[in-house]
């Protein structure tokens, strides 16, 4: 099954409003995907955007979509945690804004051969970078039961992780995603609502394969380092694990968690203004991916 790389960007207008693009400035879209956010930024002002993605198919699709902007758009294949190295290679010291949409692109989910979804039969893969060494196949068919259970519990927040891991090991070799989903569903049993029993386990495996939380932890301080004073950091999260990392980081870097002096002022040197209240999509948004999306924005302070 092959589909075009078509992706509806979530919180698109809200992100542009938060970023406040201006003519002559430079921005980084750290999770380029299909190029929706970058296109909106380039349309909003006569600026420049560096688009980073580790998925070559996303870069190809975005390059075609954004070709009309010429040199104002610069695509780079890399992990978003490598933002400082990307800019250094381009001879850029600082930028005026950084955005990151931490969700999985719809084409990655919809392409059976990418192995992200339990809706289609495909290889047990889940790699955002197809050249990465670790795949979900390595985890389900080679890792020890205890390690599989840890991944599914910590990253998927699946309470029946031990039962799932036991069932996976007992049914090796696992060759496609539908087989894997059926095994997990049998171990989990019925779930409330319309959530598929394999949803949490698939999330846990995907996060482990792509080191998603580690990427975020490395990306956040690097993103602040490359921002000019007054530069804006905009991050869209989709689940509690990544949102918690972003929220805590912004709180720490703004002094919200710092000790206070006798006048109630935070003690220390901080790199961010007090973060704005997070933004979510309105209930009327037709994009189902937007239901769990949350936009957090912070502004870079000068060094003291």
Q: How confident is the model at residue 190 (pLDDT cuts 50, 70, 90)?
A: confident
131-209: CATH topology: DNA polymerase; domain 1 (1.10.150)
Share of the chain above pLDDT 90, in %: 76
Q: Which of 117-121, 142-146, 215-219, 258-262 has the lowest mean pLDDT?
A: 258-262
Q: Is the pLDDT of residue 7 over 70?
A: no
Q: 74: buried, middle or exposed (CB in 10 Å: 19+, 13-18, 0-12)?
A: middle
**Whole-structure pTM value:** 0.91
The helix-helix angle for 212-226 and 240-253 (nearest 10°) equals 30
Per domain, the residue ranges of the chain are: 12-107+212-299, 131-209
Cβ neighbours, 10 Å, residue 29:
31
| DSSP percent split of the chain into helix, strand, coil, nearest 5 | 45, 15, 40
Is the separation of the CB atoms in 117 and 177 below 8 Å?
Answer: yes
Q: How confident is the model at residue 106 (pLDDT cuts 50, 70, 90)?
A: low
> H helices of the chain, where?
12-19, 36-44, 56-65, 83-89, 106-110, 136-142, 145-156, 161-170, 177-188, 199-210, 212-226, 240-253
Q: Is the pLDDT of residue 183 over 50?
A: yes
Q: How confident is the model at residue 160 (pLDDT cuts 50, 70, 90)?
A: very high
**What integer is the mean pLDDT of 178-190?**
94
Instruction: Identify the pLDDT of residue 6.
Output: 56
CATH top class, domain 12-107+212-299: alpha beta
Report pLDDT digits (tens) over 123-149.
999 999 999 999 999 999 999 999 999
> What is the chain's mean pLDDT, rounded?
91
Instruction: Identify the pLDDT of residue 2.
Output: 39
- Quote the CA–CA distance of 145 and 164 in Å, as a whole number: 9
């Amino acid at each position: 099954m092959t589909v075009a790389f078509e992706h509806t960007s979530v919180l698109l207008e809200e992100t542009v409003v938060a970023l406040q693009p201006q003519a002559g400035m430079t921005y980084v879209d750290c999770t380029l995907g299909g190029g929706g956010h970058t296109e909106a930024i380039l349309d909003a002002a006569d600026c420049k955007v560096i688009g980073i993605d580790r998925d070559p198919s996303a870069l190809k699709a975005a390059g075609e979509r954004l070709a009309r902007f010429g040199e104002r758009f610069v695509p780079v294949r890399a992990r978003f945690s490598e933002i400082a190295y990307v800019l250094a290679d381009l001879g850029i010291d600082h930028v005026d804004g950084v955005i990151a949409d931490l969700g999985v692109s719809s084409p990655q989910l919809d392409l059976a051969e990418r192995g992200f979804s339990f809706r289609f039969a495909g290889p047990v893969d889940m790699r955002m970078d197809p050249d990465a060494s670790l795949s979900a196949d390595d985890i389900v068919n080679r890792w020890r039961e205890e390690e599989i259970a840890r991944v599914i519990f910590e990253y998927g927040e699946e309470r029946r992780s031990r039962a799932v891991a036991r069932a996976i090991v007992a049914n090796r070799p696992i060759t496609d995603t539908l087989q894997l989903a059926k095994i997990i569903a049998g171990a989990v049993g019925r779930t409330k609502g319309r959530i598929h029993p394999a949803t949490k386990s698939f999330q846990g495996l995907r996060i482990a394969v792509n080191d998603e939380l580690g990427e975020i932890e490395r990306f956040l301080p690097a993103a602040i380092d490359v921002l000019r004073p007054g530069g804006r950091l905009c991050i869209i999260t989709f689940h509690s694990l990544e949102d918690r990392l972003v929220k805590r980081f912004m709180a720490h870097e703004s002094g919200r968690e710092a000790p206070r002096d006798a006048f109630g002022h935070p003690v220390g040197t901080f790199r961010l203004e007090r973060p704005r209240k997070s933004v979510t999509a309105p209930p009327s948004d037709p994009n189902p991916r937007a239901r769990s999306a949350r936009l957090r924005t912070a502004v870079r302070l000068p060094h003291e």
